[in-house]
Amino acid sequence: ESFATDKDLASLVEQHAANTPEQTALLTSSGEALSYAEVNGKANALAQQIIAQHPKAQAGLLPADTPIALYFSRSSEMLIAILAVLKAGGAYVPVSPDHPEARVEFILTDTNTDLVLTQESHLPSLEPVLGKMAALGVKALGVNTHALAVEHENLVRPTALANLAYIIYTSGTTGQPKGVMLTQHNVLYYLHALTRQLGDKYR
């Protein structure tokens, strides 16, 4: 089946926020409903923080395929962080706080990440890992999406669907985790196929 798009993942959310700003996009763990405009705006604000904190940021964006680790429990905060990384021009690397320290350290080292985003509640459990990696200069950024401003101006970035969207680590056959890289186009094609399968109700 042919599939073509000229928009990246973040652009699709931005378009939705522009067309239906008041439509509910996320429900937080406390039951608060966040609209597309709020989710998009909070992600804009967080993307600006990422760029300000990242040592490799250039001209207001991250270089293509720059990995940003997300040390989050599954939550609405994680979804906003994912969108923020994509808006900043990077690729996100999900890392579970339930992983052993050695696995977390391996993933951060293997991706050569400079910045880890995490929920503020997980900062204490992340500190021992970052302490071991002090020589590499890896920084942590605690995220409180409730306190984030809603920044309505979207970041301007080039659309490059061949760029990485994320890197996910699976259990490798040698015992070491193995990173699988997916591009923006890979993810968009999967979402396109999924919505076709589920029907118009879920578009």
- Domains along the sequence of the chain with CATH: 9-202 (3.40.50.12780)
For residue range 148-191, what is the model confidence (pLDDT) as tens digits? 999 999 999 887 889 999 999 987 656 788 899 999 998 888 77
Please give the Cα distance from 53 to 49 (Å, whole number): 6
pLDDT score at 30: 84
Distance CA 108, CA 129 (A): 9
How many whole angstroms separate alpha carbon 1 and alpha carbon 23? 31
Per-residue confidence (pLDDT) for residue 198, from 0 to 100 = 64
51 DSSP 8-state letter: H
Q: Residue 174 and residue 154: Cα distance in Å, rounded?
A: 43
Q: What is the average pLDDT across 17-40?
A: 93
Query: Does the pLDDT at position 2 exceed 70?
Result: no
